[in-house]
Amino acid sequence: MKLIVGLGNYGEKYTNTRHNVGFIILEHLAQTHNTQFKDEKKFKGQVAELELNGEKTLLLKPLTFMNLSGESVRLVTDFYKINTKDITVIHDDLDFEVGVVKTQFARSSAGHNGVQSIIDNLGTNEFNRVRVGIGKPENEEEKENYVLRKLSKEELESIKYLVSGI
């Protein structure tokens, strides 16, 4: 079994914001595969199930806030006995322009609090990461506000396009 985690913040005010790229991609992936997310209180998240490349795959949107995402990931991982090498975490990254993607395995959090929470809760960094570019604010002090800004329609389509081949 594989687990794909999309990082974001739950709630209407965070919908389609830069920080919610992980949620956006998972929602589009679920829609593409005709499946829906269900609230799973025992996992502190929403889960959808599908088959990818002939293998059962769970999609997880943690409903904790971003900085506590690891709690939800740990609950799912323990329950289903998922090897951390079978986990992929999709998250926003300020280091790349919108729509640029970089994949990595067993790397540090690079300052991303959601990823650090997962590392802390799993006790390892041995999982896959998909870093999705959201651009960078002009002013370094603007980071917090910038990640909570809504994506433009064009940026949103560019990000959804990333899922089209999966």
- What class is the 2-161 domain? alpha beta
Q: What pLDDT digit, counting tens, does each position of 18-66 carry?
A: 999 999 999 999 999 999 999 999 999 999 999 998 999 999 999 998 9
| DSSP classification of residue 81 | T
Question: Which residue numbers are catalytic?
Answer: 19
Six-digit token pair at 16?
């389609």
Q: Provide the residue ranges of all domains of the chain, joining segments of one domain with +.
A: 2-161
User: What is the percent of the chain where pLDDT is above 90?
Assistant: 80
| Measured CA distances, 63 to 5, 18, 78 (Å) | 11, 17, 17
Q: What is the separation, in whole angstroms, between the first and last Cα of the chain? A: 17
pLDDT at residue 125 tops 90: yes
Six-digit token pair at 38?
């269900």
Q: What is the pTM for the complete model shown?
A: 0.94
Sign of CA dihedral 28, 138, 9, 120: positive
Six-digit token pair at 148?
């909570």
Q: What pLDDT digit, counting tens, does each position of 129-138 carry?
A: 999 999 988 8
Asked whether the beta carbons of 146 and 18 are under 8 A apart, the reply is yes
